[in-house]
């Protein structure tokens, strides 16, 4: 069972990390990524939650990759958790998915576009799992208190909030770091979704773009202002990832980035 790290610090003094591929593409790939993530985070004493979407419901085009099958992908997430003794997180999109996903993972994630969906929040809360709510691109950090209230009033105090940038024009996002302390005012851990914050959505091609060269910049800034955790999508070869490859971090760059971020964390504690 995943226990939310204490606010501001974990037992190691580090931030915690939600990381993995955007989507579960297959068992071998998921286990390969999880093994490397486990090696890195154990070495650096960073609490890890393995992330993978079992289905991608929010796609620009009908022919975009959506998944390998719900239960097949969820079973892979379960195997990752059991093999490496790490908690797992996946996103849900409709109320009936809450109980389904909760049977396989430790954390249910509410996508940013759905953070105001009352029935979805209540369904996630009622599973008793940790609920990670992504802040809508159209909301301020302060406005997320209403999403927190919905989960708490449904009897669940196990809540994480995640920022993933704000809409800026039609095809870009910008990170307003005021959102992090505003969301921390709810007395819940706050995560910075580094890679999704660098998306360039709504491109004319129907394929989301991104600015992965700025991953380190956003991650460093988030740790400097006191983020409790980071969310980073990573893949051995982002260029061939079936979803969101344009803004993923190459897996071989993760350890070096984490080492830099730990030094910043130690400096600001």
Residue with tokens 């995560």: 191
What pLDDT is attached to residue 234?
95
What pLDDT is attached to residue 190?
97
CA distance 130 to 132: 7
- The angle at the Cα of 189, spanning 55 to 129, to the nearest 5 degrees, equals 45
Query: Domain for residue 86, yes or no?
Result: yes
What pLDDT is attached to residue 260?
98
CA distance 15 to 47: 7
- The angle at the Cα of 79, spanning 262 to 235, to the nearest 5 degrees, equals 45
Query: Domain for residue 161, yes or no?
Result: yes
Residue 11 has pLDDT above 70, yes or no: no
Residue 204 has pLDDT above 70, yes or no: no
Burial class (CB in 10 A: 0-12, 13-18, 19+), 147: buried
pLDDT tier at 247, thresholds 50, 70, 90 = confident
Q: What's the mean pLDDT in 245-266?
A: 93
Query: Domain for residue 146, yes or no?
Result: yes
Contact 206, 243 (CB under 8 A): no
As a whole number of Å, the CA-based R_g of the chain is 17
Q: What's the mean pLDDT in 206-235?
A: 89
What pLDDT is attached to residue 55?
87
Percent of the chain scoring above 70 in pLDDT: 87
Residue with tokens 């008793």: 128
| Domain assignment of residue 175, given as a range | 16-268
User: What's the distance, Cα to Cα, between the start and end of the chain in Å?
Assistant: 28
pLDDT tier at 94, thresholds 50, 70, 90 = very high
Query: Domain for residue 6, yes or no?
Result: no
CA distance 77 to 104: 7
Query: Domain for residue 120, yes or no?
Result: yes
Buried b (16+ CB within 10 A) or exposed e, 219-253: bbbbbebbbbbbbbbbbeebeebbbbbbbbbebee
- In tens, the pLDDT along 34-88 reads 999 999 999 999 999 999 999 876 544 444 556 688 999 999 999 999 999 999 9
Q: How many residues does the chain have?
A: 269
- In tens, the pLDDT along 110-142 reads 999 999 999 999 999 999 999 999 999 999 999
Query: Domain for residue 5, yes or no?
Result: no
pTM, two decimals, is: 0.91
Residue 229 has pLDDT above 90, yes or no: yes
- Provide the 10 A C-beta neighbour count for residue 60: 13
Q: What's the mean pLDDT in 220-234?
A: 97
Buried b (16+ CB within 10 A) or exposed e, 87-103: bbbbbbbebebbeebbe
State how beta strands 229-235 and 190-193 pair: parallel
Contact 61, 74 (CB under 8 A): no
pLDDT tier at 152, thresholds 50, 70, 90 = very high
Query: Domain for residue 8, yes or no?
Result: no
Contact 198, 173 (CB under 8 A): yes
CATH number for the domain harbouring residue 233? 3.20.20.70
Query: Domain for residue 2, yes or no?
Result: no
What pLDDT is attached to residue 63?
45
State how beta strands 199-200 and 209-210 pair: antiparallel
pLDDT tier at 207, thresholds 50, 70, 90 = low
Q: Give me the number of domains the chain comprises.
A: 1
Q: Is 226 left (phi over 0), alpha (psi -120 to 50) or beta?
A: left
Angle subtended by helix axes 27-44 and 70-84, to nearest 10: 30
- Provide the 10 A C-beta neighbour count for residue 267: 9
């Amino acid at each position: 069972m995943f226990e939310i790290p204490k606010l501001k610090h974990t037992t190691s003094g580090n931030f915690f990390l939600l990381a993995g591929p955007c989507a579960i593409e297959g068992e071998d790939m998921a286990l390969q990524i999880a093994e490397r993530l486990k090696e890195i985070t154990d070495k650096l004493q960073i609490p890890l939650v393995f992330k993978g979407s079992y289905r991608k419901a929010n796609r620009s085009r009908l022919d975009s990759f959506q998944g390998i099958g719900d239960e097949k992908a969820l079973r892979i997430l379960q195997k990752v958790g059991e093999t490496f003794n790490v908690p797992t997180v996946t996103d849900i999109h409709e109320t009936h998915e809450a109980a389904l996903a909760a049977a396989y993972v430790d954390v249910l994630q509410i996508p940013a576009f759905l953070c105001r969906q009352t029935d979805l929040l209540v369904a996630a809360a009622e599973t008793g799992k940790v609920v990670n709510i992504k802040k809508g691109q159209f909301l301020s950090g302060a406005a997320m208190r209403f999403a927190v209230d919905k989960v708490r009033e449904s009897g669940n105090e196990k809540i994480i909030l995640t920022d993933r940038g704000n809409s800026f024009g039609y095809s870009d996002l910008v990170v307003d770091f005021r959102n992090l302390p505003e969301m921390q005012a709810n007395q819940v851990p706050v995560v910075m979704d580094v890679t999704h914050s660098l998306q360039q959505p709504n491109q004319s091609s129907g394929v989301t773009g991104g600015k992965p060269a700025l991953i380190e910049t956003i991650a460093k800034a988030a740790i400097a202002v006191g983020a409790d955790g980071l969310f980073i999508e990573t893949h051995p070869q982002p260029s061939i990832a079936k979803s969101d490859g344009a803004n993923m971090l190459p897996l071989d760059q993760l350890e070096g980035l984490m080492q830099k971020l730990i030094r910043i964390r130690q400096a600001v504690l």
